[in-house]
Amino acid sequence: MTNTHETARKFNFLYRIIKFFVWLFYPRTEVVGAENLPAEPAIIVGNHSKMNGPIACELYFPGKRYIWCAAEMMSVREVPAYAFRDFWSHKPAWCRWWFRLLSYIIAPFSSCIFNNAGTIAVYRDRRIVHTFHESEARLTEGASVIIFPEHDVPYNNIVCQFQDGFVDVARMYYKKTGRELDFVPLYVAPALKKMYIGRPVRFDASAPIKEEKERICRLLAEEITDIARRLPLHRVVPYQNIPKKEYPVNTQICEKGAGN
């Protein structure tokens, strides 16, 4: 037991060192629209913006909060396969060996970081119930939960479509507390060194959950898109792992043939 506590203490110390250097070198990020945050705990839903979303929120998001994190990134054994598949599998064949090696190099650091940061492990199997229960517990304690639910299905040039399972947390929270949660849209814009908090969407406990999932995901995606398109021209850091030269801009994309 002593060795376990000593190891945990050392990893926590290492995490603090890593976090300090990330804070030192990562661009300062201004939070815009904090007045839109509800007084009560809420679920914050943002664009992933590669690793910018989680990093910026860990360093600069106001108040007590926990961030959903892929459980694989918290396990030394699972990091290499997950990181290579999710981050680098589309790299050119000639250099994939380097990224496969890199996935093993980062494994202990990834485990250290994500097990010591304010995170909630997200599972992709039956253990997802643990994710939901921990999220509901954190909300009940008064903390907000930050989620980046995009997956690799395009929605527009700003965000990808959202996986809708996170809405179930609001249903569980309502059953326990009798209170309807707010979902708060967040747009992370690394090019502007800012993140923007939008207008909340309230969970409707009286509506069928399937319809509520579709409504909430649609309204959140639309609000994030609207926030982005009202801003000065800038490159959007996408969810997809694509070269920087292919990053989209935040302008409206016209449909083919529009205006003809």
- Got the DSSP string for 9-64? HHHHHHHHHHHHHHHHHSPP-EEE-GGGS-SS--EEEE--TTTHHHHHHHHH--SS
Residue 97 lies in a domain: no
- Report the number of distinct structural domains present in the chain: 1
The answer to whether the beta carbons of residues 120 and 131 sit under 8 Å apart is yes
- The more confidently predicted of residues 38 and 8 is 38
**pLDDT, tens digit, 9 for 90 and up, residues 168-224:** 999 999 999 999 999 999 999 999 999 999 999 999 999 999 999 999 999 999 999
Q: Which residues contact 97 (CB under 8 A, 6 or more apart)?
A: none
Q: What percent of the chain lies above the pLDDT cut of 70?
A: 93
DSSP 3-state of 98: helix
pTM for this model (two decimals): 0.91
pLDDT level of residue 8 (50, 70, 90 thresholds): low
CATH number assigned to the domain comprising residue 149:
3.40.1130.10
Residue 152 lies in a domain: yes
pLDDT level of residue 145 (50, 70, 90 thresholds): very high
Residue 40 lies in a domain: yes
Range of the domain at 56: 2-75+108-246
What is the mean predicted confidence (pLDDT) over 232-245? 92
Residue 129 lies in a domain: yes
Residue 255 lies in a domain: no
Parallel/antiparallel/unpaired status of strands 194-197 and 144-147: unpaired
**pLDDT, tens digit, 9 for 90 and up, residues 48-66:** 999 999 999 999 999 999 9
Kindly state the tokens that stand for 179.
Answer: 């209170």
pLDDT at 6 over 80: no
Residue 122 lies in a domain: yes
